[in-house]
Amino acid sequence: MGLLLGGAATADDPVIVVLGDSLSAGYQLPAEAAWPQLLQKHLHDQGFNFKVINAGISGDTTAGGLARLPALLSKYHPRWLIVELGANDGLRGLSLDQAEQNLAKIIELGLAADSQVLLVGMQIPLNFGPRYSQTFEQMYPRLAAQYSVALMPFLFESIHDKPGLFLSDLLHPNRAGHRVLMVDVYDSLIEHGLRPDTDPEPALETK
């Protein structure tokens, strides 16, 4: 299970919730090595005061994430919701129609809670069949377009062809791989409008 970083949000501490699976939880790594915790440190180093809540659970599916989300939204009222789910649905050969419906409901709940949503895409090996793999990959841009939410097309874009950035199973990133993922997710957030949560000083009235 992923570690929930920090406590409940405060008015001065806007929150990013990462709803994910083992790829966010930091499978077989210390909690501090997972990219969501690295992201929080990097954000602070860059002048952002966001708190990152790592709600990644190893083995989780889109159905599990959907079931967990209402409580997370109620507790943390996130400014941003990063949705990193679907890989386990694909690897288990689950219904992609159902996975897409689950992701759609997750996005709808996030938007209804006034969260900005970043949907993180994944891919699965072609040995599941080219039609299944292609249908899986196309879920993410289709949903992002349907709901006009931010899309990071592929979480592993920078590491998929670099086995040295994975554990021995070649499925889960190692420490160095998580550092690369963190930078890519940060860049995607900036690309889609993440800004330091600072209010401008009110203009002084002149007489």
Which residue of the set 21, 172, 184, 188 is catalytic? 172
Long-range contacts of 196-203 (CB under 8 A, 24+ apart): 196/47, 196/48, 196/49, 197/14, 197/48, 197/49, 197/50, 197/79
**Interior angle at CA 173, CA 52 and CA 89, nearest 5:** 80
Which residue of the set 45, 161, 169, 199 is catalytic? 169
Distance (Å, rounded) from C-alpha 42 to C-alpha 188?
14
Residue of 120, 133, 138 whose CA lies nearest to 187 = 120
Distance (Å, rounded) from C-alpha 127 to C-alpha 119?
25
Distance (Å, rounded) from C-alpha 36 to C-alpha 32?
9
Which residue of the set 22, 24, 115, 188 is catalytic? 22
In the residue annotation, 192 being an active-site residue is answered as no
The DSSP letter of residue 170 is S
In the residue annotation, 22 being an active-site residue is answered as yes
In the residue annotation, 172 being an active-site residue is answered as yes
Could you list the active site residues? 22, 169, 172
